[in-house]
Chain A
Amino acid sequence: MGSPGTVPLLDLDLQGSVDAILADLREVVEDPTFPTVARWREGGGRVLGHFQVYFPEELAHAAGMLPVKVRGAAVERRSADSHFGSYICSILRSSLELALSGALRPDLFVTHPICDAARNLAAIYGRNVSAPAQILYLPQNANSAHAADYLSQEYRRVLGDIEGVVGRRVDDASLRRSLEVFNENRRLLRELYALKREMPWLLPVHEAYVLLAIGGLIQREEHNALLASLLPRLRERAHRPQDRMRVVFEGGFCEQPPLELLRAIAEFCYVVDDDLLIGLRWLTEDVPVAGDPVASLATAYLETSSYSPVQHDLRKPKERMLLERIRGAKAEAAIIAAAKMCEPGLDEQVAYAQALDEAGVPYFITEFEEQMTGFEHLQIQLETFVENLLFA
């Protein structure tokens, strides 16, 4: 058995058909036993679990840990519900369930004050799971001249805790190597999304999602190799363009809609951009490798980053950013979704709707839950929405 970093975590035949590879990846992404994480552990690897939305995974990667995006799962909740009240979103419950059941129990768990519910996870994890749990305070005063310095120090603090878990120091050279790996990953993901925008008939949203989400479950080197191998082959697919509406999907920054819901949307629309798992694409440009790598990461979080309802930045009003996303993707309409009980998402729906009304962009508002299984109603509504626009 090799060291954790050298063993592929996916059991894929990259020479197989693209469809077969995507089907295999989908199984892994939806598997609530987290087989890639289990395989990593079999090799003796340590795991850092980070709750949505964004975490500087380079810090864990440089320490030789597997950074895993904790994004809930469609699991039966046998224990977690008794730890929460009624008005709490599903992702929090299922994320705790994964830890309580042992399906996903990181060696270090990090959550963020992205919302009032998520910040509580550190305490609830801390009381019920033996591994350490903590909060990373990402700055909400993004417009302060001192936010980047603060964040750099906060990243160093977290890095110190990571070093405590792995039992060794992480030097700047290791961090720079990780930045390079993640820069390559960011480049490939930009390419993936460019493909969605330019030729969406080649890559429906549920397939693009699988290719993105798998990155939160494997080493980035492996993700890079996978994307590098598949992207040219996706461009060669024999799919023909159809007369479908180009839409932006907004509302997938934290709790994730079921893949079947995305597939149902793809029946009627080309999703040409979205905010699904936006944390994996939070940094929009390469992070400079020269200089202090931690400071570079901190600056990138604030200066060259995407947007979401859980970050406050006066330079990035969310509704303006959404309109830019719509225009940049040449979308004709937007699907404005929110997870049930997701306060930031539900609040943002109001602002988005007002801005889209003013801009004359048609939109479809909906709610979802990771546990939902019936999509017929949504399909009918969406079909009606699309037909109304097509035949208006």
Chain B
Amino acid sequence: MTTPAAEERTGRGARDGARLFREWFADLTREAKPGEKTGYVFVMGSLVELLRAFDMRVVFPEITSLQTAVRKVSDEYLSLAEDHGFSPDVCGYVKADYALQLRRGDHPMGRIPPPDIAVLTNACNTYLKWAEIWERLHHVPTVTVDVPGSRGLPGSVRTSPEGHERDRRYVELQIRELIVELERVTGRAFDIDRLREVLGHTNAMGRAWRRMQELNRSRPAVYDAMLEGTIYLGVANAMRGTPEAARYFADLVEEMEEKAARGISPLVDREERHRLIFVGVPCYPIFRRFYQLFSEWGGVFVGSTYMWFASGGLNDDFEYDLAHPIESLAEGTLRGVTSAVDSMLFHDKVLLDAIDTFGADGVVYHPVKSCRTVSTGLADSRRAILEQRDVLCLYVESDMMDKRVVSEAQMKNRIDAFFEGLESRRLRLEAAT
């Protein structure tokens, strides 16, 4: 028998996540306090803990951009950017943000302040082109932190502890340079104890994040990694390093444990029939509908590479050493970005592991026009996975921002055919046993 408290717990993650997001946008929208500065960062290697140690407001332009698509207005922003010369073939996030800057931060969820500094890593090359736009528009400093990731497929390139330490040391030296720049921009002295505090919150969040993913091995799964997972991902990035995020994920684990114990599926009105892995970035212009195209068939995304590469390394079983915060931040950044890039480029093994550990029946590849980091290797990855596992794969292309290349009818045909294949395979397997 379920108690009212238990009922309250299930679904709490979605409700609280939405509330936290509204609060985040409200905080960005309010007038800046005297001397308060705003930093722009990206999800892969955000180094947001460092900016929080300077009590800066932090904008994640990937998140503000995708929200324009979720809110069904991305086309307005894309059109404005294209009127200014941007090609239809480049990243929609960049274009939406460019238009946002032209519109003085006007966003469907509030008003986004301009940057005083931008911090980025080389995890995505478009980050570099994007930051150059802010340099031109706002004449603000942009600091790129090089994070050398894996040099090849596992086993194909020599690796050594000395090589890893060289890379970590390079990241650390750049972080120390960044601290000097942040001191200059904010006019404040760096407080290492404040950084320790912030990193401690991330450590707590990371532990909960990994536990939450582990719980999705339950049958039925306890959340859909493409739908709810995207909400969790948003909170994990935008509120990383805050006590609110740490608390949110602690609550979320409690909710997921409850659901696992009681066998509560994220599918409301049907049973879980097919366990899927999602590879790529969701189709935000029709986000809810995109999810329904799978859920209507009893498909649940039990895992998602999006939750791996866009989680800022939270998947990696790593905690910051608070006794050595800067050195450890460098180690965490190196590992986090490496793991993110591996999840996009060299993800064969993690995908195979996920198929096995989550008991997946199928893999859905969703390459998007906007993101070549994520999408370039997916057709090839699909070939490799099909050779190594008896799963069905669906490869369906669209975009995460641009509804002009989202054809729902065609998508539905492909997805329906995929599920018909899964159903028939399931029947064959049941008959064989």
Contacts and interface: CB of A to CB of B under 8 A. Distances in A.
Given A127-B384, A135-B152, A117 B129 contact: no
A340 B149 CA distance: 28
B128 A123 contact: no
B152 A134 contact: yes
Contact of A132 (B156, B345, B378): B156
A159 to B, nearest CB: 12
Nearest to A150: B170
A135 B145 contact: no
Interface in A321-343: 338, 340-341, 343
B174 interface: yes
Contact of A157 (B128, B143, B163, B170): B163
Contacts of B187: none
Nearest to A142: B144
A134 B86 CA distance: 32
Nearest to A351: B136
A348 B90 CA distance: 11
A140 interface: yes
A347 interface: yes
Contacts of A86: 367, 369, 397
Contacts of B132: 312, 317-318, 347, 351
A131 to B, nearest CB: 10
B84 interface: yes
A353 B142 CA distance: 22
A292 interface: no
Interface in B140-177: 142-146, 148-153, 156-158, 163, 166, 170, 173-174, 177
B152 A122 contact: yes
Interface size range of chain B in the complex: 35 or more
Given A145-B177, A310-B125, A137 B148 contact: yes
B46 interface: no
B125 A116 contact: yes
B152 A154 contact: no
Given A137-B146, A344-B125, A126 B153 contact: yes
B15 interface: no
A343 to B, nearest CB: 5
Contacts of B136: 351, 354
Contact of A85 (B122, B144, B378, B384): B378
Given A88-B372, A312-B144, A351-B132, A340 B151 contact: no
A199 interface: no
B146 A347 contact: no
Contact of B346 (A84, A123, A132, A147): A123
Contacts of B379: 82-85
A108 to B, nearest CB: 10
A340 B89 contact: yes
B345 A119 contact: yes
A9 to B, nearest CB: 29
A50 B379 CA distance: 23
B230 to A, nearest CB: 21
B87 interface: yes
A88 B132 CA distance: 23
A140 B380 contact: no
A92 interface: yes
A384 to B, nearest CB: 20
A150 B133 CA distance: 27
Contact of A134 (B85, B89, B125, B156): B156
Interface in A346-363: 346-351, 353-354
A144 B371 contact: no
B380 A123 contact: yes
A140 B94 contact: no
A181 to B, nearest CB: 27
Given A116-B125, A140-B122, A344-B125, A87 B375 contact: yes
Contacts of A87: 89, 367, 369, 372, 375, 397
A374 B380 CA distance: 31
B378 A135 contact: no
A82 to B, nearest CB: 7
Contact of A160 (B89, B128, B129, B158): B158
Contacts of B91: 343
B126 interface: yes
Nearest to A123: B345
A133 to B, nearest CB: 6
Contacts of B348: 127
B186 interface: no
B392 interface: no
A343 B182 CA distance: 30
B407 interface: no
A377 interface: no
A115 interface: yes
A98 to B, nearest CB: 16
Given A127-B348, A140-B128, A351-B136, A146 B173 contact: yes
Contacts of B341: 119
B90 to A, nearest CB: 5
Nearest to A312: B128
Contacts of A85: 367, 375-376, 378-379, 395, 397
B153 A123 contact: yes
B373 interface: yes
B377 interface: yes
Contacts of B85: 349-350, 353-354
Contact of A137 (B151, B344, B371, B377): B151
A161 B369 contact: no
Contacts of A135: 149-152
A128 interface: yes
Contacts of A257: none
A120 B345 contact: yes
Given A85-B376, A317-B132, A346-B89, 17 more contacts: A85-B367, A85-B375, A85-B378, A126-B346, A132-B152, A133-B153, A137-B146, A141-B146, A146-B174, A147-B146, A150-B146, A312-B132, A317-B135, A318-B132, A347-B126, A349-B85, A354-B85
18 contacts: A84-B380, A85-B367, A85-B375, A116-B371, A120-B373, A122-B151, A122-B345, A135-B149, A137-B151, A141-B144, A141-B174, A144-B177, A150-B146, A318-B132, A343-B91, A344-B129, A350-B86, A353-B85
* A-B pairs, 10 with minimum CB distance: A116-B373, A120-B376, A116-B372, A126-B153, A137-B148, A346-B87, A134-B152, A83-B380, A350-B85, A120-B377
Interface of B: 84-87, 89-91, 94, 122, 124-126, 128-129, 131-133, 135-136, 142-146, 148-153, 156-158, 163, 166, 170, 173-174, 177, 341, 344-346, 348, 367, 369, 371-373, 375-381, 383-384, 395, 397
